[in-house]
Every structure is written in C-alpha cells, then in structure tokens.
Amino acid sequence: GENVEQHPSTLSVQEGDSAVIKCTYSDSASNYFPWYKQELGKGPQLIIDIRSNVGEKKDQRIAVTLNKTAKHFSLHITETQPEDSAVYFCAAGDQTGANNLFFGTGTRLTVIP
C-alpha cells in the first residue's frame, strides 16, 4: 500500500516568515494530494489540494507544489500569522481506483508572535 512520510514533525517560525512542510509518497499511482489543517480539539479541515495534472496550486498565502517524478509534494505558507499555528497533515490517494487516502504523520506548526 501507499506510504506517506512527512517532515518536519515540528516547526517554529516567527510571525511573517514562511513555513514549508514536505511529504514523500511511495505509490506512483497516487494522483491526489490534499493538505489538512487540524486546530486543537477539532477535526482536520481541508485547506488545499492538488491533482497530478498540475505542478503547483496557490490560494492566497498557501501554495502546494508537486514533483511526480521525485514523488514528493510540499506545502508553503507565506507571511505566517499566529492563527496558522496548528497541526498540518498531507495525504495521498488514487482517484482512479478504490484506494483510500493515506495520511502523513503530521507537522505541528507554531507561529511565534
């Protein structure tokens, strides 16, 4: 099955700096890569996703890049704010099959005011 690795496990940045979280996956059939944000005491919430037909997607301060050859994808948050502090999960899945989503182990991001 799919194996998704996520790094780093914790990340601290100063407010206004950028944060980058990286994930690798093992199954070349995976073609859907979402990122979820989990705030304390809540369930994960989708913040952005990318499908394999594009290499980059941006939504305001958040962007995701995908390198299918190297089997890795990254989340970039620019101009970080204290409310960005949360745990972020990457995931990988195959749209064409019945496969489910496989999640990374999470990154705890702390934005220091």
Interface contacts to another protein, rule CB under 8 A:
1, 4, 6, 9, 32, 34, 36, 41-46, 49, 89, 93-95, 98-106
Q: CB of residue 95 vs another protein: minimum separation in angstroms?
A: 5
For β-strands 102-103 and 32-38, DSSP reports them as unpaired
Closest CB to another protein among residues 41, 113:
41
Query: Could you tell me if 25 and 38 are in contact, meaning their C-beta atoms sit under 8 angstroms apart?
Result: no
CA pair distance 99, 87, nearest whole angstrom: 24
Write down the least CB distance from residue 17 to another protein, Å.
26
Q: How far apart are CA 6 and CA 112, in angstroms?
A: 22
Which lies closer to another protein via its Cβ, residue 29 or residue 78?
29
Residue with smaller CB distance to another protein, 65 or 107: 107
Tokens for 97?
A: 């099959």
Q: Which is nearer to another protein, 50 or 77 (CB)?
A: 50
- Reduce the DSSP state of residue 80 to 3 states and report it: coil
The answer to whether residues 56 and 68 touch, using CB atoms and an 8 Å cutoff, is no
Minimal distance, residue 38 CB to another protein, in Å:
8
Question: Closest distance between another protein and the C-beta of residue 69, in Å?
Answer: 21
